């Protein structure tokens, strides 16, 4: 984050850059990316941002991986101070349908995956494992809808608890930039970065190339888009949603990918 902040300052000299954290110590902050209650973390972040004088009039925001999804949740739930332009890189806006692969030697990631496999939709997992709180398996939608409290909420998927404020807040964005990584194997399916998801098994389309291929429901065919449950359709119809692609694997950020977006959508005006 410090390196990326420095690169942004090179592009926009004099810009104020703030890096969100959950824990002040590095090890604790890393652990908070795996263990914790996302709703509680968002509440802490909202208060943290409200206390930063330089952000009082609003700001542009960049979120990497799950950080982008959580910034989107911040917009819907709080947005005070408001986000103007939001860029998310490889973020799981429609959740993940499989646990992400762990890098060699990443024992924290493996510990979380092992715990999740014992019951991703248990009350304990849904309150304590960050990745479980956006795990959305199309083959287990009833269990997901019954137990998940984070992703179902910010996507307004449960009719009885639809919150119209989310759509009002989200559609207030000046621009939304959704970046997908072309070879992403961490976000499954990778189209989740563009609000896409796997279709439930009973809705799989005929004519697939092979048995392993799964049908993707793209953003503009999602119920949350068609019914404008979070304001995404309103934004899109205003021409304010940009679907971008970075070539490479998850978070493989080449300069040619991120720099034009930072030049255009960060710094107070769109170029």
Q: Which of 93, 184, 193, 236 is catalytic?
A: 184
- Has 193 been annotated as catalytic? no
Instruction: Give Cα separations from 203 to 139, 199, 215 (angstroms).
Output: 11, 6, 8
Is 250 part of the annotated catalytic residue set?
yes
**Which is the catalytic residue, given 60, 65, 84, 91?**
65
> Do the strands 241-246 and 175-181 form a parallel or antiparallel pair, or are they unpaired?
parallel
Q: What is the CA radius of gyration of the chain?
A: 18
Catalytic residue among 84, 93, 175, 250: 250
Active site residue 65: yes
**Beta carbons of 40 and 66 less than 8 angstroms apart:** no
User: Comparing C-alpha atoms, which of 155, 147, 153, 154 is closest to residue 129?
Assistant: 147
Given a contact cutoff of 8 angstroms between Cβ atoms, the answer to whether 138 and 204 are in contact is no
CA distance linking residue 91 with residue 64, whole number of Å: 7
Length of the chain: 271
- Which residue numbers are catalytic? 65, 184, 250
């Amino acid at each position: 984050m410090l390196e990326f902040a420095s690169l942004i300052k090179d592009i926009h000299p004099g810009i104020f850059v703030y890096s969100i954290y959950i824990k002040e110590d590095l090890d604790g902050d890393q652990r908070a990316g795996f263990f914790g209650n996302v709703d509680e973390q968002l509440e802490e972040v909202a208060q943290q941002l409200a206390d930063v004088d330089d952000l009082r009039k609003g700001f542009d925001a960049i979120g990497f991986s799950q950080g982008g999804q959580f910034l989107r949740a911040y917009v819907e739930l709080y947005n005070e101070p408001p986000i103007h332009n939001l860029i998310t890189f490889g973020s799981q806006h429609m959740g993940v349908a499989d646990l992400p692969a762990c890098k060699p030697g990443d024992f924290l990631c493996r510990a979380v995956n092992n715990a999740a496999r014992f019951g991703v939709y248990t009350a304990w997992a849904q309150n304590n494992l960050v990745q479980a709180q956006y795990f959305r398996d199309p083959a287990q939608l009833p269990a997901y809808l019954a137990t998940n409290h984070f992703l179902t909420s910010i996507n307004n998927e449960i009719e009885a608890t639809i919150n119209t404020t989310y759509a009002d807040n989200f559609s207030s964005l000046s621009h939304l930039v959704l970046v997908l990584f072309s070879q992403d194997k961490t976000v499954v399916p990778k189209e989740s970065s563009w609000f896409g998801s796997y279709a439930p098994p009973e809705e799989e389309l005929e004519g697939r190339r092979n048995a392993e291929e799964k049908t993707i429901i793209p953003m503009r065919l999602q119920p949350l888009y068609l019914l404008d449950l979070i304001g995404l359709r309103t934004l899109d119809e205003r021409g304010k949603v940009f679907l971008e692609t970075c070539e490479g694997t998850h978070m493989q950020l080449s300069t040619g990918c991120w720099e034009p977006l930072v030049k255009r959508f960060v710094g107070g005006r769109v170029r």
